[in-house]
Amino acid sequence: MRQVTAPGLALIQQFEGFSPVIYTCPAGYLTIGYGHVIRAEENFSDGIDRRWAEELLKRDLRIAEAAVLRLITVPLSDGQFDALVSFTFNLGAGALQRSTLRRKVNRSEHASAADEFHRWVYASGRKLPGLIRRRAAEAALYRS
């Protein structure tokens, strides 16, 4: 299965940030490491180190990578794939599936597809500066 490249992984890590302890993300989920949403059966009461966080991230990314491969029907450059994986990891496969972004990508309308990233900058009804920066970076990666 195709995997996110090193630049894509670095972008995701940059925007997710590393936390060795549990925190609540802007969408309200208990999270740890590089954006790992904690499941009911998981216990991170002692926190985690970067190595463990990177392993969790790579496992979590498999879900986003598989979703992009399932939902996108046209060939993608590494930058396009990585940007879509970052988007999907952050927002979920459902967001990609119902998005105009996906429809434009699948019609090979890549220039206008890149502009669609900028529409996804809200969490819990609030426009977040971090999401504005992330979507700009994803759009730039998509265009690369």
- Residue ranges per domain, the chain? 6-143
Q: Go through 54-82 and write b for each residue having 16 or more CB atoms within 10 A of its CB, e for each that does not.
A: bebbeebbeebbebbeebbeeebeebbbb
Q: What is the pLDDT of residue 5?
A: 98
Average confidence score pLDDT of the chain: 96
How confident is the model over 25-41, as a mean pLDDT? Answer: 92
pLDDT band at 123 (very low <50, low <70, confident <90, very high): confident
Decide if 54 is catalytic.
no
Domain 6-143 has CATH 1.10.10.10: no
Q: Is the pLDDT of residue 25 over 90?
A: no
Chain centroid to Cα 8, Å, comes to 9
Decide if 25 is catalytic.
yes
Q: What is the pLDDT of residue 28?
A: 86
How confident is the model over 125-129, as a mean pLDDT? Answer: 90
Backbone angles phi, psi at 106, to 5 degrees: -70, -15
Q: What is the pLDDT of residues 67-117, one digit of tens each?
A: 999 999 999 999 999 999 999 999 999 999 999 999 999 999 999 999 999
Q: Helices 78-91 and 50-71 meet at what angle, rounded to 10?
A: 110
Beta-strand ranges (E) seen in the chain are 19-24, 30-33, 36-37, 122-123, 126-127
Q: What is the pLDDT of residue 112?
A: 97
Active-site hit among 16, 65, 116, 138: 16
Q: What is the pTM of this model?
A: 0.94
